[in-house]
Amino acid sequence: MSPKQQRGEATVDLLLDAALRVFAAEGEQGITVGAVTRASGVSLGSLYHHFGSIDNLVGALTHRWLSRLLGELASSLHGARTARTGIRALVRTYLTFIQEHRDAALLLHSSLADRYGMAQGKELRDAQEARLSAFAQWVQPRVESGELAPLPLPLIESLALGPVVGVARRWLSGVDVDLGEAARILPDRIWRSLAP
């Protein structure tokens, strides 16, 4: 990689990191071109050069953290010997992620990310296909062997992650949710919905 490419990547990282800090501190309304350039120390021209708009910057930020979350979830399945232990690993990995990356989790569970996801759904799904395929590749043999209920993949994904996302949103909004308790209780409850 050339020095110019390295500087470009460093600038992109500065902008994305600053945008996340601004979002965490100020919320959706706080993410403005001025706020991000001030927080990053990067010029307005560089922001537009790399992203074209503040919306594209927020989209790239959402994509970055969604990729990371999906990557960690996919990795958690590799060590799972059974469907039940895989579900447990998914739940614990998700809850650990939101605790360790609270600012990013706030973004990923925000109405801003929801709107972005709805508007860019196909593009996001296509971009995440490799990671989603890892989940499908883990699920399919377990459905075929009878270890998981014979449901369509989107329903299995929703049953496996829907309750966890709900708990994450409650915790992130400050509602009294004990994530340790959720990590103990949810895997078995979710497993019951997916067991054959």
How confident is the prediction along the chain (196 residues), in pLDDT tens digits per residue? 788 788 889 999 999 999 999 999 999 899 999 999 999 999 999 999 999 999 999 989 998 998 899 889 999 998 889 999 999 999 999 999 999 999 999 999 988 777 766 666 556 555 555 555 778 889 999 999 999 999 999 899 999 999 999 999 999 999 889 999 999 999 999 999 999 9
Query: Residue 53, SS3?
Result: coil
The count of other CB atoms within 10 Å of the CB of residue 178 is 11
Question: What backbone torsions phi and psi does residue 103 show, to the nearest 5 degrees?
Answer: -60, -45
H-run or E-run covering 11:
helix 3-26
Asked whether the beta carbons of 95 and 168 are under 8 A apart, the reply is yes
Measured over the CA atoms of residue 45, residue 46, residue 50 and residue 55, the dihedral's sign is negative
Q: What's the pLDDT at 118?
A: 65
